[in-house]
Structure 1
Amino acid sequence: MKKSAVQLLAVALATALAGCSAEQPEGLAYYETIMKAPPLLPEHATAQWLDCAPSVDAASADYTSVADTGTALGWVDRVAHDWDYFSSSADDGKVLVIDYAQKGDALAFRYLANDNTHGDLYEPWSSSKIMAYAGALSLVSENFAQADTLIGDTKLADLITSIHSYQPSGKADGNSNAIAYYFADVAGRDYLTGLFHQGWMNSGQDGVMFRGKYGPDAFVPSDAYWRTPSRNAEILVTARSEDAGLLDYNCESCGELGNKPMTTLTSAEFLKRLVTQRRVPETRLAGLSDDAVMMLLYGPGHSDNSANAGGMMAGAGLGPHRAIARALQQHYSEYEGLSAQETLDQATQGNWRIFHKLGAGPSGTRGTSEVVALTHVCLPLADGTHEFTLAAQAAVDDNSYENVGYAGEKLERLLETTVATLLAEGH
């Protein structure tokens, strides 16, 4: 049953006082055991398109559809939004939630942030790798994201799974940076940057760009062809090694945020448009097939079938899972004392979804250690479903992997309070 307001306050206070208890490793231990850990998976992890948004009254002004806002420059000002919705301060981190609802025949949204941080630029680290992949796949072919698609002699499904898991998958060697670097080369940085602006999203946030790469070297396929054996087709793709849009990390116009600065709004909106492209065709990325999105989310055809999920479902890190489970435990007394896995499965009959891309690193340029989460969540709860896309970032002073772990703990606390707020409000 639901708890009373007094019970919720008591649990929240107990959680705050617990702080870094024995179940919350500190610093480097958190980085090694939580951030680098494989994710939890739902009991029923079948690859399927999401249809999770709760219904609201068709006349509700709390959510707006694309028909209400349009997609031209200025749409951000027209969406239903509250840029100071969450009580967390900017010192706690940055978070933006795009909350979903079915409003009549249309999918509609409200945009919720904390402390007006939705437009603050930050380095997205590896969370931006989904942009490199989506950009590349939108240019290659409408139908070139099948379970048997090969890039050279390596499965596309293994490459996208390895990007997210940081582990070997088939012939993909776990070098997430090199694989994402390759996809960015295929897409080109002018094209990727344009996607945030007049090329697609019309975000109105001029400082956002994708001008970088990942690591020192790109993945080199065994040959330059993408193949789908079942269709006996092949496509030649020439990587743009001489990309005029590629800038050095410390380029003159880049500043201390480097060559891929983004915001919680642009990052979350990018993922939201991918996840909803079948439900909101008006905002789909031209050239990107439905199969390419399913490949991103689930990696169908990846070699480690025992894992039962690839792509973003295999995204490294337990922070979002733990945070959401604890928020559920605060809201529903029957889940207290259960593990995160048990809580998520029991609360949703094993049908939850958490698609996650972690970004993290120590920044010598800024003298900070930072963690980013780019996540899509579906929680089909007995008393009402919740579907939302979020982007969040937290940082602590001093650049070391131990402090990256502390930033990860900080981000997990931010995610917990964010989801707890959504659950407490209901629909």
Structure 2
Amino acid sequence: MKNSTKYIFGICALLPLVACTAEEPSGLSYYEQIMGAAPLQPEHAEPRWQACAPKVAATDERYATTVETGTDAGWVTRSAHDWDYFDANASDGKILVIDYAHKAGELAFRYLANDETHDDLYEPWSSSKIMAYSGAMSLLSDNFAQPDTVVGEVKLADLITSVHSYEVSGAADGNSNAIAYYFANVAGRDYLTALFHDAWLNIGQPEVKFRGAYGPSAFAPSDSYWRTPSRSVSAQIVARDSDPGALSYRCDDCGLTGNKPMTTLASAEFLKRLATHKRVPETRMPGLSDDAVMMLFYGLGHSENSANAGGMMAGASLTPHRAIAQALQAEYPELEGLSVQDTLDTATNGNWRIFHKLGAGPSETRGTSEVVALAHICLPLADGTREFTVAAQASVNDNTEANVGHAGAKLETLLRRTVQQLISDRP
């Protein structure tokens, strides 16, 4: 997604949803006004570990705990899943939701997809940037994810916020691609790829890999050191042109989905394990600290708009917020006529959380325009909490910037239908 100037919150963010239908943006206007908008913030946005999963009976076979599935090869088959749960067709886009519940005192999950698209390969675009960051942070010796950590002379909190917001944050210049490229160089492509396989996820699909980068060049800190006031460490960097694990975009084994092909299952599982880092120790990324996860979600210590959260909470785009608000209004008629902001705050007493990263672009290789969403969502509703992680992708024919906006609107519709179906199916 391109760097944006500060667009308004989107013409429908501050107005009642029903008042916006006659002037719904589309194409380029959707891309600029909705996908390029700063996100909304909950009334109570203080950083905290989430705990929104509802309780279900110990005998509920719709959900399975990590103890029940294990984490070794084959866990996907042993999971509680329905790959054709949602009524959207593959032509509507690909979507996978990991739905959370407490079962016998443990977190449990069910994996829900549409039209068996959970293992279809696609290009993740910028949604994969959380993977570059997490991989890099897991390799740094000791814990260098503090609010006062600097990389060279730039605060880490500003770097991770700038990755998600596409805006200047402190000394971070808003070049999301360059910053994420740097994190990928710190982690190395062999390691980032291994995380999807025997080094962590055991996702069971060898075609999934992380062998590329972002944009033409990487962020170059003033030196290789990461520092806090009392400590420093030199980050070992393997640049793409000298990384034996790097592949060109159209390498012999890469196909049309490029050198970072992923699936909704792989992407959602990656984020789900970060979101449950404190609650499910068995699936923590090796070497990743609690603080590194909180830095990803909230950007603790970021310089700009200090009243608002940074990190994934600062992720550009109103697409997920609008989709969820519309789904809530369909399920709870008393919310009709409220704005997106008021719908989310009223439904959850101001305690909702939407951590998200969107990726988007026109693909000359595939002749399509595409949008990808990766998000973790907490909705503490009055009649029962809901918590879930979602990965989704939608595309339209012809690779133009305006069509990226059309793909974004298509993705919003898919998200709205999915969330509405999910929250109406109460545990």
Is 1:154 the counterpart of 2:160? The answer is no
Kindly state the Cα deviation for residue 143 of structure 1 after the two structures are TM-superposed: 1.3
Distance 2:97 2:234 in 1: 39
Partner of 1:264: 264
Distance 1:141 1:131 in 2: 18
Kindly state the Cα deviation for residue 58 of structure 1 after the two structures are TM-superposed: 1.3
Q: Deviations over 1:172-199 (max 9, x none)?
A: 0000000000000000000000000011
SS at 2:111 equivalent: strand
Q: Deviations over 1:307-364 (max 9, x none)?
A: 4200000000000000000000001011001000000000000000000001000000
Where does 1:352-363 land on structure 2 (aligned, <5 Å)?
352-363=352-363
Partner of 1:179: 179
The worse-fitting range, judged by mean Cα deviation, of 362-371 and 298-307 is 298-307
Where does 1:18-417 land on structure 2 (aligned, <5 Å)?
21-229=21-229, 232-241=230-239, 242-417=242-417
Amino acid at match of 2:254: C
Amino acid at match of 2:234: L
Amino acid at match of 2:237: A
Q: Deviations over 1:197-237 (max 9, x none)?
A: 011110001110000010000000011100011xx110011
Structure 1 ranges of 4+ moved more than 4 A:
none
Amino acid at match of 2:318: L
Partner of 2:7: none
Distance 2:356 2:22 in 1: 25
Kindly state the Cα deviation for residue 306 of structure 1 after the two structures are TM-superposed: 3.6
Partner of 1:14: none
Q: Deviations over 1:90-140 (max 9, x none)?
A: 000000000000111210000000000000000000000000000000001
The worse-fitting range, judged by mean Cα deviation, of 297-306 and 44-53 is 297-306
TM-score (norm 2): 0.94
Provide the alpha-carbon RMSD of the alignment. 1.0
Distance 1:402 1:140 in 2: 41
Distance 1:134 1:346 in 2: 33
Amino acid at match of 1:191: Y
Partner of 1:15: none
Q: Is the 8 A contact 1:142 1:288 kept in 2?
A: no
Distance 1:216 1:243 in 2: 16
Amino acid at match of 1:234: S
SS at 2:286 equivalent: coil
Kindly state the Cα deviation for residue 395 of structure 1 after the two structures are TM-superposed: 0.2
Kindly state the Cα deviation for residue 238 of structure 1 after the two structures are TM-superposed: 2.3
SS at 1:82 equivalent: strand
Kindly state the Cα deviation for residue 22 of structure 1 after the two structures are TM-superposed: 2.9
Q: Deviations over 1:257-310 (max 9, x none)?
A: 100000000000000001101100000001000000000000000001444200
Distance 1:257 1:322 in 2: 29
Distance 1:237 1:278 in 2: 26
Distance 1:21 1:329 in 2: 14
Q: Is the 8 A contact 1:90 1:114 kept in 2?
A: yes
Distance 2:176 2:112 in 1: 31
Amino acid at match of 1:303: S
Q: Is the 8 A contact 1:31 1:405 kept in 2?
A: yes
Distance 2:176 2:305 in 1: 20
Q: Deviations over 1:25-59 (max 9, x none)?
A: 01000000000100011000000000110000112
SS at 1:59 equivalent: coil
SS at 1:396 equivalent: strand
SS at 2:42 equivalent: coil
Distance 1:423 1:261 in 2: 30
Amino acid at match of 1:85: Y
Amino acid at match of 2:259: N
Distance 2:180 2:157 in 1: 13
Distance 2:28 2:206 in 1: 36
Amino acid at match of 1:350: G
Distance 2:345 2:35 in 1: 21
SS at 2:52 equivalent: coil
